[in-house]
Amino acid sequence: MKAGEEQSFAFRGRLFLLLVVLAYGVLAWHDAPVALVALRRGGLLLLRLLPVFAVVICLIAVVNYFLRPARIVRWLGRESGLRGWLLALLAGVISHGPMYAWYPMVQDLRRHGGRDGLVVVFLFARCIKVPLLPVMVDTLGLRFTLVLSLYILAGSLLQGWLMERLQRRAGG
């Protein structure tokens, strides 16, 4: 990542924080009791989720350290079989960061013979955001979160399979 890109990201983060603080300031000026309730609820939610976020971030960092792009390319090739499908699914779920950051790896995977169906599975499975699962469980419930996550996983496998079928039919 270039130094300019890193600063740009940091600036956007500061701008977002400033906008949130301003929004709370406007709310406090307009209706102070409601602002205090909102701050209290937000603070309690953050305190409850901080330990979970810490564990999840550590797990993701360890996995990303050991799963180098070259290794992923080797495991998701044309002859990867069921292992390739499951690895694409797992890699999509545990990957984090902006989608565009993964495009070079996906391009490298395709250039080295990776299956487009597995690329689709990887990209679609990224809809499950591991760090946000605790928030989702807390706000929407465990059953809803599990069912939605299973639908996303099944949908990513189905879309990858459809991509391969369409490519075979088109002769690609």
Q: Does the residue 165 lie in any domain?
A: yes
Q: Does the residue 115 lie in any domain?
A: yes
Q: Does the residue 8 lie in any domain?
A: no
What pTM value is reported for the model? 0.59
DSSP line for the chain: --HHHHHHHHHHHHHHHHHHHHHHHHHHHH-HHHHHHHHHHHHHHHHHHHHHHHHHHHHHHHHHHH--HHHHHHHTBTT-HHHHHHHHHHHHHH--S-GGGGHHHHHHHHHTTB-HHHHHHHHHHTTS-GGGHHHHHHHH-HHHHHHHHHHHHHHHHHHHHHHHHHHHHHT-
Residue 138: both structure tokens together: 């807390």
Span 95-127, pLDDT tens digits: 877 777 777 777 777 877 778 999 999 999 999
Span 14-44, pLDDT tens digits: 888 888 889 989 988 999 999 899 889 988 9
Q: Does the residue 63 lie in any domain?
A: yes
Q: Does the residue 162 lie in any domain?
A: yes
Q: Indicate the number of domains in the chain.
A: 1
More confidently predicted of 162 and 4: 162
Q: Does the residue 27 lie in any domain?
A: no
Residue tagged 């977002």 (tokens): 16
Contact (Cβ atoms closer than 8 angstroms) between residue 60 and residue 98: no
Q: Does the residue 9 lie in any domain?
A: no
Q: Does the residue 28 lie in any domain?
A: no
Contact (Cβ atoms closer than 8 angstroms) between residue 92 and residue 124: yes
Q: Which domain holds residue 66?
A: 56-170
Contact (Cβ atoms closer than 8 angstroms) between residue 48 and residue 138: yes
pLDDT at 162: 97
